[in-house]
Structure 1
Amino acid sequence: MFKLMVSSILLFSISASLFAQEAIEITPPEYIKTIQFRGGNQNQLPLIKLGERLQISFDALNGNEDDFYYKIDHFNFDWTPSDLSKNEYLDGFDEVRIETYENSLNTLQIFSHYYLTIPNRETRRIKKSGNYLITFFDDDGNIVFSRKFIVLENIVGVAVDIKRARDLRRIKTDQVVQFAINSPSLLLINPKRNVKTLVIQNSNLKTAITNLVPQYTIGTELIYRYDKEAAFSGGNEFLNFDNKEIRGSNNTIRRVELNDLYEHYLFSDIDRSDRPYTYNPDINGDFVVRNIDAQNQAIEAEYVFVHTNLLYYEPLGDKELHIYGNFNNYTIDGTTYMRYNETTDSYQNSRLFKQGFYNYKYVLVDRDGSIDENVVGGEFWETENNYTVLVYYRGPGERYDRVIGQGQGSSTRITNY
């Protein structure tokens, strides 16, 4: 009997531990491409206001016209599961089939374009703000991929300023995000414990700063005037290519070939870390699908093998070079790996992209998975970056973390202290 009790307690502890694990986004398989989020005035950052429409689309390149299903789960600020039941944060149902898809038209690569809008007939409304994970799975219940998104309320105001670093060792490279939260209508009780913030650079949730607490209060304002703790490396402007015209070269594409699919060879990129900063307009790591000859971009844009070539002569040791950007949610995988070519003495990658305009950069990845975004591109305080500050609050007696406001800032208006 005692052994049975111990076993039951141990099993419960293990189950509770597993249940409390942080939500992790599942990377899609090779045949799933071009996952896009749209909501409000955001393009790729999956951030919408409560009551707004969220749009998600992706392509399946296997040609099977598979059925896909989705479910939506609510999470706390730290991406552990919240205590809310499904009917508390959803009006309607999830775990239903995506009904809207179209097959490709006049393309060499066949694919099915899936399109999901929330709210819809089954999932009628998201009722609570907070962190969410949407998971897509197949007929057999196997997870295909999952992605995070955030729903917010517009209750507090957030004023954001971008400053140069005070630390002289980082003054030429870093950008510091300072902000103030103004809450005239909602009393924020015990803000150092109950108010949490998320500071995001260029729509990349994976590099967000999450550990800031208010330093002091002035009236109804919470003030955050950190330096080192709220600093991001400015990095460098993203590189880009534009292949909306599939048959022609341009200032980013030096050669076009047609085999089974079109292949675009980009001009060689170089190490920019030891060169002066040069302003080059970008879209901060994002991408836009487009085909200059198409009426329906979603199903008429072609898939193209894009060949990148990097001239880089510093020793890597046991590290790797990868191509990096929001085209795959800033994910490092086999499709982003830059292989060394002894013949050309350069690092090369060939990856399938849907026609459009893409930002990318090269990063150095250590064996432990840590990423150095600036070793190839360099880091400069002048670089134009976008910043988003999200404010979370859990009041006394509440069972979940609400997202009660957001602020936006750009380093184009960076100032000294």
Structure 2
Amino acid sequence: MLLLPAAFAQSITYTDNVYRANIKSVLCYNAAKEGSFPAINLRSNDQILLSFDDLSGQSHDYYYTVEHCDNSWQPSQLSPAEYLQSFLEDRLLDYQYSSGTVQKYVHYEVKFPNQNIAPKLSGNYLLKVYEDGDQNKPVLTRRIYVVNPQAGISAEVVPSNNVSLRQTNQKINFRFDYAGINVANPYNDIKVLVMQNGHPEVSYLNTQPTFVQGSQLFYNDISINDFPGGNEFRHFDTRTLKLNSERVARIFKDTANAVLLLTDVSRNKNGYLLEYDNDGNYFIGNQDGRDARIDADYARMYFSFAAEQVPANGSLYVVGKFNNYALNASNRFTYDDTRNRYYLNTLLKQGVYDYQYVWVPNTTSHPDYVTLEGSYFETENDYQLLVYYRPVGARWEELIGFKTINTIKR
């Protein structure tokens, strides 16, 4: 089951992306809590943990570095020496070979900052992994956030001001206090990004406050930060390949592992139904082993969906953090008109996975997260608030505030 890498010479995108077909199970989070948002405080003991598997089965000379970016993920006009201390790149030396698995792989890990690479400035950083010290041979990229906390943020989740959306949407009202920061023009120097469940494509950038009162900026205009609540994520559990778990119809084990999931149907119904989820996250695990990092196996996961839409109207995708919510050929379903079903299979490591279905109509080509999943105000979601500040005359943006709020845990 060797997967061949893509062509070496590539240009990177400033997004969470994987550039080689043999790279799987990429995790990037604050090391203090598995699956957490990848934000750390500047000049603290916080670290980002990055891990991934290389399914080629042999070790490679992988290197990594970080690049400072602005709030819209464009490269800052800074040289690496201005935002990095110690070295400008480092080699990935922490790797282990898989043990007792059908699919052979090499597991890599690194924690950042460390004694070789550490940031001098707060802000957005793109973490880049590449081969042979050559950034023209990219392996993966991940967005991480380094915060120099200087602003106190308070926020609340309320129903939409639009009466027609009160049952489906969640509105975020917030304010923060910039006392102690020399802000010349709060209507121009401060920007605040609100993001749902760490999904960059489901976000709103506030470029101006609704009004200013002393050193407090208020963001509560009726037309801003109004998000469809969506639905709780679907999930499946493959921490064991010996027994069928919830949502698993059948497991096949031979020269490879295959897991057939139960057929899914549309959940865009009249009412909200409580289900516990991980807000789109996924967690690697193996109940039958000792160290899931190297003894969790891979299985070919078979999804099926009972069609309510046909390919003439658009395309169906399955998304979650396990595939960076990507809408590409590897996550697009094929349609079987004899069974009126959509089908897709993909290779995933053992664990617990959240996922959802996205419909992309041919008429708009814009992802529709509601048609097949529904949207409800009661849905439990995390919202991340990131406060960016560009001092007068500065060549970069600082990240001076970060807060996560939950719609249930007030």
**TM-score normalised to the size of structure 2?**
0.91
More moved, 90-99 vs 247-256 = 90-99
**Using the alignment, how far apart are the partners of 1:355 and 1:325 within structure 2?**
15
**Would you say the 8 A contact 2:35–2:283 is kept in 1?**
no
1:27 corresponds, among 1, 10, 18, to 18
Higher helix share goes to which structure?
Answer: 1
Q: Counterpart amino acid of 2:28?
A: F
**Would you say the 8 A contact 1:160–1:178 is kept in 2?**
yes
- Where does structure 2 lack aligned partners over 5 or more consecutive residues? 1-10
- Where does structure 1 lack aligned partners over 5 or more consecutive residues? 1-18
**Using the alignment, how far apart are the partners of 1:259 and 1:168 within structure 2?**
56
1:337 corresponds, among 332, 337, 341, to 332
Q: SS at 2:301's partner residue?
A: strand
Please report how far the alpha carbon of residue 121 of structure 1 lies from its aligned counterpart in structure 2 after TM superposition.
3.7
Flag the structure with larger Rg.
1
**Would you say the 8 A contact 1:212–1:229 is kept in 2?**
no
**Would you say the 8 A contact 2:26–2:52 is kept in 1?**
yes
CA RMSD of aligned residues (A): 2.0
Residues 413 and 43 of structure 1, relative CA distance in 2, 3 Å threshold: closer
1:273 has 2:268 as partner:
yes
**Using the alignment, how far apart are the partners of 1:262 and 1:42 within structure 2?**
26
**Would you say the 8 A contact 1:98–1:114 is kept in 2?**
yes
1:213 has 2:208 as partner:
yes
* Residues 87-124 of structure 1 deviation map (CA, whole Å, 9 limit, x = unaligned): 1211111333211100101110000001111123421x
Please report how far the alpha carbon of residue 28 of structure 1 lies from its aligned counterpart in structure 2 after TM superposition.
2.8
Q: Which residue of 1 aligns with 2:197?
A: 202
**Would you say the 8 A contact 2:40–2:47 is kept in 1?**
yes
Q: Counterpart amino acid of 2:161?
A: R
Q: Which residue of 1 aligns with 2:3?
A: none
Please report how far the alpha carbon of residue 251 of structure 1 lies from its aligned counterpart in structure 2 after TM superposition.
2.1
**Using the alignment, how far apart are the partners of 2:267 and 2:174 within structure 1?**
31
Q: Which residue of 1 aligns with 2:406?
A: 410
**Using the alignment, how far apart are the partners of 1:266 and 1:316 within structure 2?**
22
**Would you say the 8 A contact 2:55–2:106 is kept in 1?**
yes
Q: Counterpart amino acid of 2:306?
A: L
Please report how far the alpha carbon of residue 342 of structure 1 lies from its aligned counterpart in structure 2 after TM superposition.
3.0
Number of equivalent positions:
394
Please report how far the alpha carbon of residue 206 of structure 1 lies from its aligned counterpart in structure 2 after TM superposition.
2.3
2:28 corresponds, among 37, 45, 57, to 37
Residues 91 and 307 of structure 1, relative CA distance in 2, 3 Å threshold: same
**Using the alignment, how far apart are the partners of 1:48 and 1:228 within structure 2?**
31
Q: SS at 1:298's partner residue?
A: helix
Q: Counterpart amino acid of 2:20?
A: P
**Would you say the 8 A contact 1:289–1:298 is kept in 2?**
yes
**Would you say the 8 A contact 1:36–1:44 is kept in 2?**
no
* Residues 34-90 of structure 1 deviation map (CA, whole Å, 9 limit, x = unaligned): 110121447253222113211100001011212211221111122222122211211
Residues 187 and 81 of structure 1, relative CA distance in 2, 3 Å threshold: same
Q: Which residue of 2 aligns with 1:95?
A: 89
State the identity %.
Answer: 29
Query: What is the correspondence of 1:133-152 to structure 2 with a 5 Å cutoff?
Result: 133-139=126-132, 141-152=136-147
Q: Counterpart amino acid of 2:345?
A: S
* Residues 163-200 of structure 1 deviation map (CA, whole Å, 9 limit, x = unaligned): 10011221121111111112232233211100001101
Q: SS at 2:408's partner residue?
A: helix
Q: Which residue of 1 aligns with 2:41?
A: 49
Please report how far the alpha carbon of residue 32 of structure 1 lies from its aligned counterpart in structure 2 after TM superposition.
0.5
More moved, 66-75 vs 38-47 = 38-47
Residues 163 and 316 of structure 1, relative CA distance in 2, 3 Å threshold: farther
Q: Which residue of 2 aligns with 1:264?
A: 259
Query: What is the correspondence of 1:61-80 to structure 2 with a 5 Å cutoff?
Result: 61-80=55-74
**Would you say the 8 A contact 1:341–1:348 is kept in 2?**
yes
Q: Counterpart amino acid of 1:190?
A: N
Please report how far the alpha carbon of residue 397 of structure 1 lies from its aligned counterpart in structure 2 after TM superposition.
2.5
Which stretches of structure 1, 4 residues or more, deviate above 6 A after TM superposition?
A: none
Q: SS at 1:72's partner residue?
A: strand
Query: What is the correspondence of 1:338-353 to structure 2 with a 5 Å cutoff?
Result: 338-353=333-348
**Using the alignment, how far apart are the partners of 2:19 and 2:13 within structure 1?**
19
**TM-score normalised to the size of structure 1?**
0.90
Q: Which residue of 1 aligns with 2:121?
A: 128
**Would you say the 8 A contact 1:176–1:228 is kept in 2?**
no
Residues 24 and 252 of structure 1, relative CA distance in 2, 3 Å threshold: closer
**Using the alignment, how far apart are the partners of 1:275 and 1:216 within structure 2?**
38
**Using the alignment, how far apart are the partners of 1:343 and 1:29 within structure 2?**
35
Q: Counterpart amino acid of 1:345?
A: N
Residues 210 and 372 of structure 1, relative CA distance in 2, 3 Å threshold: same
**Would you say the 8 A contact 1:160–1:408 is kept in 2?**
no
Q: Counterpart amino acid of 1:77?
A: N
1:375 has 2:366 as partner:
no
